[in-house]
């Protein structure tokens, strides 16, 4: 009679451990942060964007602290102008006149600005000609197109 409770407890413990092990193997992440566009979670982040870019975007972009030859204003949750053109190597500067922070982030995630606070600016320089659709990663409905010649 004494073996029955021990056997039942052992069976219960074995089932509990088995359930824990299978739950860890198929667990679902509860991390609610957005993934970085363009990179798998297991890939390390690149320290610099690629030096060459295809015509449709995808790299050859870096941040710049210089005043831009091309200017984009951010006001009323809109990029103005929405479509901006610059030459290879010229800085494009975004100036935020909204009360909320914004970014200028390439749609493919290859590069972008950090958060641009109210009254501040941020710039990007492109090393390859092409058309680069972009958005604000905080407010994805804010979109524009960069054309580099």
CB crowding 125-149: b at 16 or more within 10 Å, else e: bbbbebebebbbbebeebebbbebe
Q: Do the domain assignments include residue 23? A: no
How far CA 107 is from CA of 5, 18, 80, 134, in Å, comes to 62, 44, 18, 5
User: Quick one: pLDDT at residue 60?
Assistant: 84
Q: Do the domain assignments include residue 40? A: no
User: Quick one: pLDDT at residue 14?
Assistant: 46
The bridge status of strand 78-80 relative to strand 130-135 is: unpaired
Host domain of residue 101: 61-148
Token code pair at residue 44 = 């390390």
Q: Do the domain assignments include residue 8? A: no
Q: Do the domain assignments include residue 24? A: no
Q: What is the pLDDT along the chain (149 residues), one digit of tens a residue?
A: 566 565 555 545 544 444 443 333 443 333 333 444 444 333 333 333 333 333 344 458 999 998 888 999 999 999 999 999 999 999 999 999 999 999 999 999 999 999 999 999 999 999 999 999 999 999 999 999 999 99
CB crowding 106-122: b at 16 or more within 10 Å, else e: bbbebbbbeebeeeebb
CATH code for position 86: 2.60.40.420
Domain total for the chain? Answer: 1
Closest among 5, 39, 66, 38 to 134, alpha carbons compared: 38
User: Quick one: pLDDT at residue 135?
Assistant: 98
Token code pair at residue 59 = 């790299």
Q: Do the domain assignments include residue 43? A: no
User: Quick one: pLDDT at residue 116?
Assistant: 97
């Amino acid at each position: 009679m004494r073996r029955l409770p021990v056997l039942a407890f052992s069976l219960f413990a074995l089932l509990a451990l088995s359930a824990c092990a299978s739950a860890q193997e198929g667990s679902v992440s509860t991390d609610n942060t957005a993934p970085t566009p363009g990179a798998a979670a297991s890939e390390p982040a690149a320290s610099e964007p690629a030096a060459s870019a295809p015509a449709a975007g995808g790299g050859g972009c870096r941040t710049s602290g210089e005043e831009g030859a091309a200017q984009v204003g951010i006001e009323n949750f809109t990029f103005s102008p929405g479509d901006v053109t610059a030459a290879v190597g010229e800085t494009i500067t975004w100036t935020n006149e909204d009360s909320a922070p914004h970014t200028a982030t390439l749609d493919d995630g290859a590069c972008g600005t950090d958060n641009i606070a109210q009254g501040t600016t941020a710039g990007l320089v492109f090393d390859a000609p092409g058309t680069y659709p972009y958005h604000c990663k905080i407010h994805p409905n804010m979109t524009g197109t960069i054309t580099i010649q």
